[in-house]
Structure formats: C-alpha cells, structure tokens
C-alpha cells in the first residue's frame, strides 16, 4: 500500500478530465470556453514532480491560456485514439505537440495499452516468429522489451526498429494533419536530434527519433521548435522538485524546474509569433 500512497512531500497534480476522455490530465481544469493553446506531450509536458511546469510558465509570461494535456509516459496512441483530446486541439488557437518516443505505440510487432502507452500488452505472431527464443510473458514495459530484444539479437532488432520508426512517422503526420489549426512540433531533450542510421540509444529520450523522422513530420506542422536543455539547467538535480521519499528514483529521471524555465522561454517566443 505504500506505493499507492507515496507519503508526505508528494505533489498534488489536481487530476482532471475533459469531456468524455478517459485520460487524467494535470489540473486544475481549465475553462475551454475562452481562447486557449493546447499542449500535447509526455512526462515532461505533464510536469511530473515539477510544481510549476512549462505550460504554466508560458501562460504567466504571455497571458495566453494554456491547457496542459500532457500524460506521463504518453506515446502518440494516447492522442490519436482519443476523440475528446482531438476536439480540444481542434478548438485551440494553436496546439503544441511534444515529440515523444517511438517505443510507446502499437505496431505490427506488439500492442501497447491504449492509455498507458508504456505498458506492453502482447507480441504479434510476426514478432514471435522473429524472436522464437524469447518468452514475451516476462515483459510489462516497452523499453525493457526493446532493450532485451536488442541485446538478444542486434541484427534482428533492426527490423523492429525500422517498423517503430516508420509507424511513428505515419502516426505523427496523421496527428498533425488531423488538427485543423496552427501547430508547433517541439523537440525537448538534453541533446539535439541525432542523424539517421546511428546505433540506437535505448536509454536516451525521446527514444529512437532521428533528424530525418522529424524533418518528415515538421513539414506537416505550422512551426518547429527545438529546445536542447543547457548543462547548467540540467545540473540542478533534485532541487525544486516535489516528491515523496519513495518517488526519488523516478524524480532523478525528469527535467527539473530550470529546464522547464528554458522550455517556457523558447515556447513563449514561438507562440507569440504564431498567435
């Protein structure tokens, strides 16, 4: 039960829902009857452990209302398959789409949970044929699955990687094309997008995304924003984060308030130009 109730120090995210969506977003819930900018993204956009995440900072700096639709560990499937989120994006002055990794989406090789996209559900017959020696019942998370498959047979893994990358591009393009208004495609990481053809780094986020994939997707967005956090911002460690003792290992993995301030400054400029 300790993990259900992490204890004193945990951040209250004021979880809320919009419309008929089954997703829980970070609150407080925003009024959608007034003009707003929607923000889609993963853990960084949600602002896990961050008292004031970058969407709030952008609103404070610009006066533009921001609706944070970030989800922890989100893949593109969270948004592509949620009509309520797409409706909110359609009604926005602009929609910011954070670039999330390619691992957390259903594809020809495996299926993920429709809302908790980092959860591995099942391997397809195609993946079982490619890796007949692997017991897929041992896996619960997509990253663990991919790291194990790569370690087992790097050459065969190239087939899986190519499928994930192609699926990501098709799904991202489909998402951007489905949003009728202005869109900002945003890279948020501690490194620039890597060139294509590199050995996959299965620890770096966003996982398995390269510059060519982004170039294809950004042609379908109104604007592209690349935010590479500075070494000084990353050096903050746990300073300014709010978490309970049991949450410390997870808190070590997220960008802190200084990184969020850098993102907010860059995004505020991009949005002022757009809206």
- Token pair belonging to 126: 């195609």
User: For residue 95, is it within any domain?
Assistant: yes
User: For residue 112, is it within any domain?
Assistant: no
User: For residue 138, is it within any domain?
Assistant: no
- The answer to whether the CB of 214 falls within 8 A of the CB of 185 is yes
Per-residue pLDDT of the chain (275 residues; tens, 9 = 90+): 333 334 556 899 999 999 999 999 999 999 999 999 999 999 999 999 999 999 999 999 999 999 999 999 999 999 999 999 999 999 999 999 999 999 999 999 999 999 999 999 999 999 999 999 999 999 999 999 999 999 999 999 999 999 999 999 999 999 999 999 999 999 999 999 999 987 778 989 999 999 999 999 999 999 999 999 999 999 988 999 999 999 999 999 999 999 999 999 999 999 999 99
* Cβ density class 29-39: b for 16+ within 10 Å, e for less: ebebeeebbbb
Three-state DSSP string of 88-118: HHHCCCEEEEECCCCCCCCCCCEEECCCCCC
| CATH assignment of the domain containing 254 | 3.40.50.1110
- Token pair belonging to 233: 């911002």
Radius of gyration of the chain measured on its C-alpha atoms = 18
In this predicted structure, what is the pLDDT of residue 10?
Answer: 82
In this predicted structure, what is the pLDDT of residue 199?
Answer: 74
In this predicted structure, what is the pLDDT of residue 3?
Answer: 33
User: For residue 235, is it within any domain?
Assistant: yes
In this predicted structure, what is the pLDDT of residue 219?
Answer: 98
User: For residue 233, is it within any domain?
Assistant: yes
User: For residue 42, is it within any domain?
Assistant: yes
In this predicted structure, what is the pLDDT of residue 83?
Answer: 96
In this predicted structure, what is the pLDDT of residue 9?
Answer: 66
Domain of residue 241 covers 37-105+180-274
In this predicted structure, what is the pLDDT of residue 2?
Answer: 33
Angle between helices 54-62 and 257-274 (to 10 degrees): 50
Q: Give Cβ neighbours of residue 82 (< 8 Å, ≥ 6 apart).
A: 21, 22, 23
The domain total for the chain is 1
User: For residue 230, is it within any domain?
Assistant: yes
- The answer to whether the CB of 41 falls within 8 A of the CB of 96 is yes
In this predicted structure, what is the pLDDT of residue 1?
Answer: 30
Query: Against a cut of 0.85, is the pTM above it?
Result: yes
In this predicted structure, what is the pLDDT of residue 8?
Answer: 54
Q: Taking the CB of residue 66, how many other CB atoms lie within 10 A of it? A: 24
User: For residue 28, is it within any domain?
Assistant: no
Q: Residue 151: phi, psi to the nearest 5?
A: -65, -35
Q: Which residues face 186 on adjacent strands?
A: 98, 225
């Amino acid at each position: 039960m300790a993990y259900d109730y992490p204890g004193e120090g945990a951040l209250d995210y004021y979880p809320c829902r919009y419309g008929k969506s089954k997703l829980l977003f970070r609150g407080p819930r925003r009024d959608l009857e007034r003009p707003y900018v929607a923000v889609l993204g993963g853990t960084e956009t949600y602002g896990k452990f961050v008292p004031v995440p970058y969407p709030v900072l952008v609103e404070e700096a610009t006066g533009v209302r921001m609706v944070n639709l970030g989800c922890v560990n989100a893949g593109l499937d969270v948004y592509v398959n949620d009509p309520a989120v797409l409706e909110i994006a359609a009604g926005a002055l602009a929609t910011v789409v954070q670039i999330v990794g390619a691992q957390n989406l259903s594809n020809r090789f495996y299926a993920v949970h429709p809302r908790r996209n980092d959860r591995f559900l099942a391997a397809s017959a195609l993946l079982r044929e490619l890796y007949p020696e692997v017991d897929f019942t041992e896996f619960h998370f997509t990253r663990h699955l991919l790291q194990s498959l790569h370690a087992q047979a790097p050459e065969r893994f190239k087939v899986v990687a190519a499928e994930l990358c192609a699926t990501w591009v098709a799904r991202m393009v489909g998402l951007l094309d489905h949003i009728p208004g202005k869109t900002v495609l945003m890279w948020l990481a501690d490194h620039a997008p890597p060139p294509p053809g590199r050995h996959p780094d299965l620890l770096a986020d966003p996982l398995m995304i390269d510059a060519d994939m982004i170039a294809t997707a950004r042609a379908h967005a109104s604007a592209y924003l690349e935010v590479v956090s500075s070494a000084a911002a990353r050096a903050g460690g746990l300073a300014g984060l709010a978490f309970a003792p049991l949450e410390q290992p997870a808190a070590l993995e997220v960008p802190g308030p200084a990184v969020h301030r850098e993102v907010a400054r860059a995004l505020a400029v991009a949005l002022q130009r757009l809206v």
